[in-house]
Structure 1
Amino acid sequence: MTSFVDKSCQGLSATGFHRIAYREWGTGARTIVCVHGLTRNGRDFDILAADLADRLGARVVCPDIVGRGGSGRLANPDNYGYPQYLADMAVLLARLDTEQVDWVGTSMGGLIGMMLAAQPNSPIGRLVINDVGPFIPRQALERIGDYVGQDPFFADMDGVEAYFRSHYAGFGALTDAQWRRMAETSSDAQPGGGFRLAYDPDIARIFKNSAVTDVDLWPVWAAIRQPVLVVRGAQSDLLLADTAERMTKEGPRASLYLVPDAGHAPALLADDQVTAVRNFLAHD
Structure 2
Amino acid sequence: MSYRLHRYRSADGRLELAARDYRADDNGAPALLLMHGLTRNSADFEPLAEHLAGAYRLIVPDQRGRGLSQWDSDASNYRPDIYVQDMLALLGELGIAQFGVIGTSMGGLMAMVMAAMQPERVSAMVLNDIGPVLEAEGIARIQGYVSPGKEMANWDEAAQRIAISNAPAFPHYGPGDWLAFAQRTCIQNPNGTISFAYDPAIAESMNGENPSTVPPDLWPLWDGLQSIPTLVIRGGISDLLSAQTVAEMGRRHSGPFDAVEIPHVGHAPILNEPAALDAILPFLAEQVH
The TM-score with structure 1 as length reference comes to 0.91
Question: For residues 171 and 214 of structure 1, do their structure 2 counterparts lie closer, same or farther at Cα, with a shift above 3 Å needed?
Answer: farther
Deviates more, 1:107-116 or 1:181-190: 181-190
Distance (whole Å) between structure 2 residues aligned to residue 26 and residue 232 of structure 1:
28
Distance (whole Å) between structure 1 residues aligned to residue 115 and residue 269 of structure 2:
22
Shift of 1:263: 1.0
Within-5 A mapping of 1:156-195: 156-169=154-167, 170-171=169-170, 173-174=172-173, 176-195=175-194
Show structure 2 runs of 5+ residues with no match. none
Partners of 1:22 and 1:42 within 8 A in 2: yes
Q: Which has the higher strand share?
A: 1
1:128-174 Cα deviation digits (max 9, x unpaired)? 00000001133321221111123331111001111122212315644
Deviates more, 1:129-138 or 1:263-272: 263-272
Q: 2:260 aligns to what?
A: 257
Within-5 A mapping of 1:12-161: 12-13=11-12, 17-27=14-24, 28=26, 29=28, 30-54=30-54, 57-161=55-159
Shift of 1:121: 4.3
Q: 1:237 aligns to what?
A: 239
Shift of 1:52: 0.9
Show structure 1 runs of 5+ residues with no match. none
RMSD: 2.0
The TM-score with structure 2 as length reference comes to 0.90
Distance (whole Å) between structure 2 residues aligned to residue 243 and residue 142 of structure 1:
18
Partners of 1:25 and 1:50 within 8 A in 2: no
Deviates more, 1:31-40 or 1:205-214: 205-214
Distance (whole Å) between structure 2 residues aligned to residue 74 and residue 197 of structure 1:
16
SS of the counterpart of 1:163? Answer: helix
The amino acid of 1:180's aligned partner reads L
Q: 1:203 aligns to what?
A: 202
Q: 1:222 aligns to what?
A: 223
1:68-126 Cα deviation digits (max 9, x unpaired)? 11111001111111121111011111122122100001000111001111224441111
Shift of 1:191: 2.5
SS of the counterpart of 1:229? Answer: strand
Question: For residues 194 and 252 of structure 1, do their structure 2 counterparts lie closer, same or farther at Cα, with a shift above 3 Å needed?
Answer: farther
Number of residue pairs matched?
Answer: 279
Shift of 1:185: 2.3
Distance (whole Å) between structure 1 residues aligned to residue 150 and residue 262 of structure 2:
30
Question: For residues 211 and 271 of structure 1, do their structure 2 counterparts lie closer, same or farther at Cα, with a shift above 3 Å needed?
Answer: closer
Distance (whole Å) between structure 1 residues aligned to residue 31 and residue 215 of structure 2:
34
Distance (whole Å) between structure 1 residues aligned to residue 103 and residue 171 of structure 2:
17
